[in-house]
C-alpha cells in the first residue's frame, strides 16, 4: 500500500505577516518559508501508518516554485521515501492543485491520500474536499485520529466536531485531511537529513500532467486587519464606570 501526502511551502507561521504596499498580496520576499504545519501533521500520520506496517511507501508531493524542493527535502528527512515536485510559478488555487493531484494519483496509484486540512497562507480549506470529489473517493476531513485496517481495506477516522467526536469508516482508497491534534510531528534528525539528500525527487510540469493552470479566482485586494486601538489606564473605579457609561455606552 502506498500513501501520497501533499505538502505546501508557506510563510513560516511564526513570521509576522506583512501586506505588500500595493495590496496585491502578502510579502514573501526575504521571508522565512516553511512547511505548512497541517501538512507536517499529514506527513507524520503517513509515516506512522507506514511504521505500523500498513504501508510500504510514502510519497510526498509539493507544488509551486523551485524552492518547494527544500520543503520536499524536509519531508524526506522526516522519513518520506520519495518526492514529487510539480514545478509551477503560476499562482495555484485549490482547484488547480486538486486537478494536479488527481493526475498524480493516476500515475502513482496510492491507496491513501493525506493532506493538511488547510494551508495557513490562504486558509482555503478546499483542496482535500475537491480532490475527493474529482476522484470520487470517500473523504475524512479534520481527522483527529486515524486507524487503518489493511485486511478490510478500511480507514476509521475520528473528527472533532462541535457536538463531540464523529467517527467515519472510509473504504480505501480514500482522502484524509488532518487537524491539529492528530499527532505531534517528529523532528528531522541529522542522519535522516543526510539520507534525504540521496532520495529521489521527480519533477513534473503542469503540462506533463496535462493540467491547464487557469485562475478561477481574482484577488481584488489584500488588506491588513484594522489595528486595535491602544488601551487607556483608568485611575479609579469611578472613572471606569464613567467611561463604560458615557464612552462605551455599555452600562
Partner 1 sequence: MVNCNWKATFRFITHSPKSFFQRRCIPPSRNPTFLPSASTSEFLCLGQRVFPFFNSLSNRVDITEGCIGMPSAVLRKCYGSTAGLVQRNPKYSTLNDEDVSYFEGILGKKNVIQDEERLVAANTDWMHKYKGSSKLLLQPRSTHEVSQILKYCNSRCLAVVPQGGNTGLVGGSVPVFDEVIISLSSMNNIVSFDKVSGILVCEAGCILENIITFLDNEGFIMPLDLGAKGSCQIGGNVSTNAGGLRLVRYGSLHGNVLGLEAVLANGTVIDMLKTVLKDNTGYDLKHLFIGSEGSLGIVTKVSILTPPKLSSVNVAFLACKDYIICCWTDQNCFNTCDVLMELKRLEGKLLQEAKRKLGEILSAFEFLDIQSMNLVLNHLEGTRNPLPTMHNFYVLIETTGSDEAFDKQKLEAFLLHAMENELISDGVLAQDINQSSSFWHLREGIPEALMRAGAVYKYDLSIPVDKLYNLVEEMRTRLGNVANVVGYGHLGDGNLHLNISAPQYDDKILSQIEPYVYEWTSKHRGSISAEHGLGLMKANEILYSQSRETVQLMASIKNLMDPHKILNPYKVLPHSFSS
Q: Where on the chain is the footprint of partner 1 (CB under 8 A)? A: 12-16, 30-32, 34-35, 37-38, 74, 77, 117-118, 120, 123, 125, 141-142, 160-163, 179-181, 184, 187-191, 193-194, 235
Residue 44 Cβ, how far from partner 1 at the closest point, in Å? 12
Task: Dig out the grid coordinates for 130 from the structure.
Answer: 475537491
- In this structure, the number of other CB atoms found within 10 A of the CB of residue 199 comes to 18
Gap between the Cα atoms of 222 and 48, Å rounded: 39
Residue 143 Cβ, how far from partner 1 at the closest point, in Å? 12
Residue 234 Cβ, how far from partner 1 at the closest point, in Å? 13
Query: Which of 13/137 has CB closer to partner 1?
Result: 13
Task: Dig out the grid coordinates for 49 from the structure.
Answer: 501508518
Task: Dig out the grid coordinates for 101 from the structure.
Answer: 493531484
Query: Which of 117/199 has CB closer to partner 1?
Result: 117
- Angle, in degrees to the nearest 10, between helices 68-78 and 37-51: 30
Gap between the Cα atoms of 101 and 96, Å rounded: 9
Residue 93 Cβ, how far from partner 1 at the closest point, in Å? 19
Query: Which of 147/180 has CB closer to partner 1?
Result: 180
Task: Dig out the grid coordinates for 88 from the structure.
Answer: 509551477
Query: Which of 35/175 has CB closer to partner 1?
Result: 35
Amino acid at each position: 500500500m502506498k500513501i501520497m501526502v501533499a505538502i505546501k511551502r508557506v510563510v513560516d507561521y511564526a513570521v509576522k505577516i506583512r501586506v505588500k504596499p500595493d495590496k496585491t498580496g502578502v510579502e514573501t520576499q526575504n521571508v522565512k518559508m516553511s512547511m505548512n504545519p497541517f501538512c507536517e501533521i499529514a506527513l507524520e500520520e503517513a509515516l506512522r501508518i507506514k511504521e505500523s506496517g500498513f504501508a510500504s511507501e510514502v510519497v510526498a508531493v509539493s507544488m509551486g516554485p523551485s524552492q518547494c524542493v527544500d520543503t520536499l527535502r524536509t519531508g524526506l528527512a522526516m522519513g518520506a521515501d520519495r518526492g514529487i515536485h510539480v514545478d509551477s510559478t503560476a499562482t495555484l488555487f485549490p482547484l488547480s492543485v486538486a486537478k494536479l493531484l488527481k493526475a498524480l494519483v493516476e500515475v502513482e496509484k496510492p491507496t491513501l491520500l493525506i493532506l493538511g486540512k488547510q494551508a495557513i497562507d490562504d486558509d482555503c480549506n478546499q483542496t482535500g474536499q475537491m480532490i475527493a470529489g474529482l476522484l470520487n473517493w470517500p473523504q475524512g476531513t479534520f481527522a483527529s485520529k486515524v486507524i487503518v485496517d489493511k485486511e478490510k481495506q478500511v480507514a476509521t477516522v475520528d473528527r472533532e466536531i462541535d457536538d463531540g467526536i464523529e467517527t467515519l469508516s472510509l473504504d480505501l482508497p480514500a482522502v484524509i485531511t488532518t487537524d491539529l491534534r492528530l499527532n505531534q510531528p517528529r523532528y528531522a534528525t541529522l542522519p535522516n537529513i543526510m539520507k534525504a539528500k540521496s532520495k529521489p525527487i521527480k519533477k513534473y510540469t503542469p503540462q506533463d500532467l496535462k493540467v491547464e493552470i487557469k485562475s478561477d479566482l481574482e484577488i481584488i485586494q489584500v488588506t491588513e486587519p484594522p489595528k486595535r486601538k491602544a488601551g487607556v489606564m483608568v485611575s479609579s473605579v469611578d472613572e471606569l464606570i464613567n467611561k463604560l457609561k458615557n464612552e462605551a455606552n455599555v452600562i
